[in-house]
Structure 1
């Protein structure tokens, strides 16, 4: 492999806000190491053998499932022919960033395995697109509405567990208040506005909250009339994450009755993105949606 140009970054562009997300950094660093390995003409087993790694360690690092230690990073960069003090320093700085604890780990007591990938990566997204057929999307819920939704779900939860789930959702929402927050585009089924969740006071406060959020420049809200949502046939809650960096693949989170699916398989993600495109094209405009929202609010 030819030596790297010391005047160029190892990465295509500055990583920006993504540097604050350890999970996203692990994926990016792993992808870069895979790119360097392929350029060096090596397979994972070769690397494991030459560096004395345990079996499949290289693959786990490349997939972002195994944090990369600084000593491992140095050995890998040397093996792949990466030289230049700036390159090594840049990579090690990001490795150090990726080893910081993720904020969501403090909620591991209430985080399910299928939900963790969404929570871990959504704050690193450039755009979040969400559709909910039964409830207000989680990132737009008040704490009282969230509590009512959780209590109405399957199974009996202890009050402490309910509280922790509400706190987790509020923490996720707080990322939308950051200067580099993702743009959020949400489509809500019209029936959601008609469904009184948690009682009239809770629902009125939720509608007031939506009326305030719809005015924010980084949030787009559309209402899907009943005939539109039936025609598009999405039928389940979907969250789509779009990342600004090509190092991160777009993702889709699809909700089911008792669990969910998080996928970054391009064909599957593209399918759901197309359905969200169709739904958005058929839903009411943000201006019309605002009118519907305020009309419904006036009925409380």
Structure 2
């Protein structure tokens, strides 16, 4: 059973993939159960993400379903290994909800992350000062300990791009970058940080100009995740201050992938976006306010 006794995004991904391959092979759950020497109920629980599956069982099922793609096999075997592993985010159980934990697991597992943000700096690019400004501007009072834990979670999350583990592409609407922040110092630090990260080989930042109103209103913020060597979209997440929603329906995921490509086409190029940030930083008045 997955850690915590409940389905996780990892166990759901594994189960859904095994079910797709079984249906493609035109086999029923009874046939799969017979080959594994288990009950039909167990196959159902595995495909529903309720029960974890051993690596050996995954290999047997993939052989049965005649799945020969080595990348697909490697990915599913990896999911079988990590579904029962304790993620670092479980150390912040009081801070990280189950849905947010699923988002973090997607980030950790992803080979490609694409995000669209019309209002905020993307979370994986935020500085501690920017995050504190968001917390201070909320209608909720948090203890100093809670704020420090939130900052610690954000530091851990940012490792997926700062350590080069994933290819990260972001399209950000201009107002999210240029609208005045409570502190010019925080604003300057945030833009400088983004400019530095945007020069990394695994990070692409594109600024959507303010004038591209139509493109900016095609969809609210979202992030797309891919897990193989190719950037085929497999999950979409919507993260807010109060909730996290993850969509794994392939048609919905494909729709958001098309929107993201349209946003990229309407946005400034990577080089133009770096020049935009240079000018924004240079034109920012000195001083705290």
2:243 equivalent among 259, 276, 282 = 259
Following TM superposition, by how much is the alpha carbon of 1:195 offset from its aligned partner in structure 2, in angstroms?
Answer: 2.3
User: In the TM superposition, what whole-angstrom CA distance separates every residue of 1:83-142 from its partner, at most 9, and x where no partner exists?
Assistant: xxxxxxx99997555422122211221112332222111122221111111111001111
Confirm or deny: 8 A CA contact 1:237 1:254 kept in the other structure: yes
2:122 equivalent among 113, 116, 137 = 137
- Structure 2 alignment gaps of length 5 or more: 1-7, 67-73
User: In the TM superposition, what whole-angstrom CA distance separates every residue of 1:53-73 from its partner, at most 9, and x where no partner exists?
Assistant: 8x5x432322333223689x4
Distance between the aligned counterparts of 1:178 and 1:228, measured in 2? 33
Following TM superposition, by how much is the alpha carbon of 1:236 offset from its aligned partner in structure 2, in angstroms?
Answer: 2.0
1:228 equivalent among 206, 212, 237 = 212
1:185 counterpart SS class: strand
Distance between the aligned counterparts of 2:208 and 2:86, measured in 1? 39
**1:87 aligned residue:** none
Judged with a 3 Å threshold, the aligned counterparts in structure 2 of structure 1 residues 69 and 244 are, in CA distance, closer, same or farther, namely: closer
**2:147 aligned residue:** 162
Judged with a 3 Å threshold, the aligned counterparts in structure 2 of structure 1 residues 185 and 23 are, in CA distance, closer, same or farther, namely: same
**2:181 aligned residue:** 197
1:205 counterpart SS class: helix
Distance between the aligned counterparts of 1:206 and 1:96, measured in 2? 37
- Structure 1 alignment gaps of length 5 or more: 1-21, 83-89
Following TM superposition, by how much is the alpha carbon of 1:177 offset from its aligned partner in structure 2, in angstroms?
Answer: 3.1
1:234 counterpart SS class: coil
Distance between the aligned counterparts of 1:171 and 1:117, measured in 2? 15
Judged with a 3 Å threshold, the aligned counterparts in structure 2 of structure 1 residues 237 and 94 are, in CA distance, closer, same or farther, namely: closer
Confirm or deny: 8 A CA contact 2:107 2:160 kept in the other structure: no
2:104 counterpart SS class: helix
Bigger Rg over Cα: 1
Confirm or deny: 8 A CA contact 1:145 1:198 kept in the other structure: no
Judged with a 3 Å threshold, the aligned counterparts in structure 2 of structure 1 residues 216 and 38 are, in CA distance, closer, same or farther, namely: closer
Confirm or deny: 8 A CA contact 2:233 2:257 kept in the other structure: no
RMSD over equivalenced CA pairs, Å: 3.7
TM-score relative to the length of structure 1? 0.74
- Out of 143-152 and 268-277, give the one that drifted further: 143-152
2:224 counterpart SS class: strand
TM-score relative to the length of structure 2? 0.76
**2:38 aligned residue:** 51
Distance between the aligned counterparts of 2:127 and 2:235, measured in 1? 26
1:110 counterpart SS class: coil
2:97 counterpart SS class: coil
Distance between the aligned counterparts of 2:142 and 2:276, measured in 1? 35
Distance between the aligned counterparts of 1:296 and 1:103, measured in 2? 37
**2:258 aligned residue:** 274
Confirm or deny: 8 A CA contact 1:130 1:240 kept in the other structure: yes
